[in-house]
Chains A and B, each alone.
Chain A
Amino acid sequence: MKIKTTLLAAGFIASMVGLAHANDPAKLNDLEIAHVAYIADNIDIRYAHLALAISSNPAIHDFAKTMIRDHTAVNEQALALLAKLDAQPQDNFLSQSLQENAEKLITEMSALRGAAFDKFYAENELAYHKAVNDLVGNTFIPNIENAEVKSLFEAGLEIFQAHEHHAEMMVGEVN
C-alpha cells in the first residue's frame, strides 16, 4: 500500500512537471492560480468527507474534520478577496489536471475499507500536502503579482505546512 500511495503521489507531481513542458504552472496568472488553489482546497475537502464516511478511526476523523474546517476557511478568505478585487478565478489546465487526478483517487479510495482505507488516506494526505506546498511555495508565491493575493497564499502555505506536519503524525498513528 505504501508503494502504491507513493506512486500515486509521485504521479500527481509528475503530472504537474510533465505538463510544465506544454503548460507551465509558472506562467499562470493570479486568477488562474487562485482557481488552482480553490480546486486543490475543494479536493482535500472531498477526501475528508470520504474519510468521515468510510473510516471509523478517531484520528482519521479528527484530521478529516480539521481539513474540512481549515480548507473551507481558506476558500472563504480567497472568495472574499476576489470579491473585493471584483475578479473571478479562471479555470485552467492545472485545475483540470488536479480534478482528473482526484477523481481517480476518490474512486480508488472508495473501494477500500478499515485499516487499508486509513493507511491510504493518511499517506495520500501527506503526499498531497507535500506536493501542493511545493507548488505553492516554489512556483505560485514567487509568481503572484497582486500583493493581497500573495499575502493570502503566504498565509495559506503556513496552514498547509501545518497540515503536512499533522499528516505526518497521522501516518505514524495508522502504521
Chain B
Amino acid sequence: MQKINRRNLLISSVAAYTVTGLNLAQAHTTPAEYTINIRKFKFEPDHIDVHIGDTITWVNQDLVAHTATAEDGDWDTEMLEKSQSKSLQVTKGMTGEYFCVFHPHMKGKINIM
C-alpha cells in the first residue's frame, strides 16, 4: 500500500512537473513586452532581463534626441526625437550593453535569460 502510494506520489510529481514545465515552456513562447523610458538622460530601467522573441520599446521622454545602440553595433533604435519610441524584437545578438550615441555616458544592459 505504501509502495503504491509512493508510486502514485511519484507519478503525481512527474505529472505536476510536466504540467509546470509545459506552463513554463508556454510562458516562454508567449512573447512579453517591456518598456524602457529614456528620462533625464537615463534608461529606466537600465538593466532588463528578457527572452528571445520578447519586445522592448524605448520611449524618449527627454527634450533632446537619444538613441539606444548596442556597444558592438549589432542593433540600434536610431535617433529618437522627443516623445518618439521604437520597438525591437529581442534576438540572440542583443545581449549585452548599449548606450546613447549622442550622450555616451548613458548606458543600459540587456540580459537574455
Interface residues of A (CB under 8 A from B): 62, 65-66, 69-70, 73-74, 77, 155-156, 158-159, 162, 165-166, 169
Q: Within the assembled complex, what's the spacing in Å between the Cα atoms of A158 and B101?
A: 18
A65 partner residues in chain B, CB cutoff 8 A: 102
What are the 9 closest A-B residue pairs judged by CB atoms, nearest first?
A: A70-B64, A162-B41, A66-B102, A73-B64, A165-B105, A158-B40, A162-B103, A77-B63, A155-B63
B63 touches A159 (CB 8 A): yes
B:94-113 near A, CB below 8 Å: 101-106
Q: Mark B56-75, 1 if CB is under 8 A from A, else 0.
A: 00000011110000000000
Q: Using a Cβ–Cβ cut-off of 8 Å, how many residues does chain B contribute to the interface with A?
A: 13
Q: Within the assembled complex, what's the spacing in Å between the Cα atoms of A69 and B60?
A: 15
Q: Give the secondary structure class of B's interface.
A: loop
Q: Give the secondary structure class of A's interface.
A: helix
Q: Within the assembled complex, what's the spacing in Å between the Cα atoms of A73 and B84?
A: 14
Give me 15 other A-B pairs in contact (C-beta within 8 A), A70-B64, A74-B63, A162-B41 excluded. Answer: A62-B102, A66-B103, A69-B65, A73-B63, A73-B65, A73-B82, A77-B63, A155-B62, A158-B41, A159-B41, A159-B62, A162-B103, A162-B105, A162-B106, A169-B104
B82 partner residues in chain A, CB cutoff 8 A: 73
A166 touches B64 (CB 8 A): no
Q: Within the assembled complex, what's the spacing in Å between the Cα atoms of A73 and B102?
A: 13
B64 touches A74 (CB 8 A): yes
- Closest B residue to A162 by beta carbon equals B41
Which of B65, B102, B106 has the most chain A CB atoms inside 10 A of its CB? B102
- Closest B residue to A69 by beta carbon equals B65
- Closest B residue to A78 by beta carbon equals B63
- Closest B residue to A170 by beta carbon equals B104
